[in-house]
Amino acid sequence: MAKFFDALAYEKNEVKVTHTKDKKGVHESIHVKLSSGFAKFEKNNQKYEFVFNHQHQEINEDCFTSVKEKLVK
C-alpha cells in the first residue's frame, strides 16, 4: 500500500478517481488510475480490499472510509 501512496503523492494532479456504489450500499468501490498502474478500494458486504497492480490486501472499514474521504470529491 505504501507504493500506491508514494505514486499518488507524486502524481497528485494527474490522478483519475471513480467512485461507484449500489443502491443498497452493499457494494462500493473507488478506482484510482495512475500512470504507474491502477488501484481499487472495494467494499463487498463486510469485506474490504485494496488492489494495486494485481497485489491484493485486506483492509479494515476505517481505512476504506479514510480513503473515501480523501479521494472522493
What's the pTM?
0.85
Ranges of beta strands (E only) in the chain are 16-21, 27-34, 37-44, 47-52, 55-59
Position of cell 478517481?
Answer: 17
Q: What is the distance between the alpha carbons of residues 29 and 9, in angstroms, rounded to a whole number?
A: 21
User: pLDDT tens digits, residue range 26-64?
Assistant: 899 999 999 888 999 999 988 999 999 889 999 999 999
Q: Give me the amino acid identity at 1.
A: M
User: pLDDT tens digits, residue range 4-15?
Assistant: 889 888 887 889
> How confident is the model at residue 65, as a pLDDT?
94
> How confident is the model at residue 28, as a pLDDT?
96
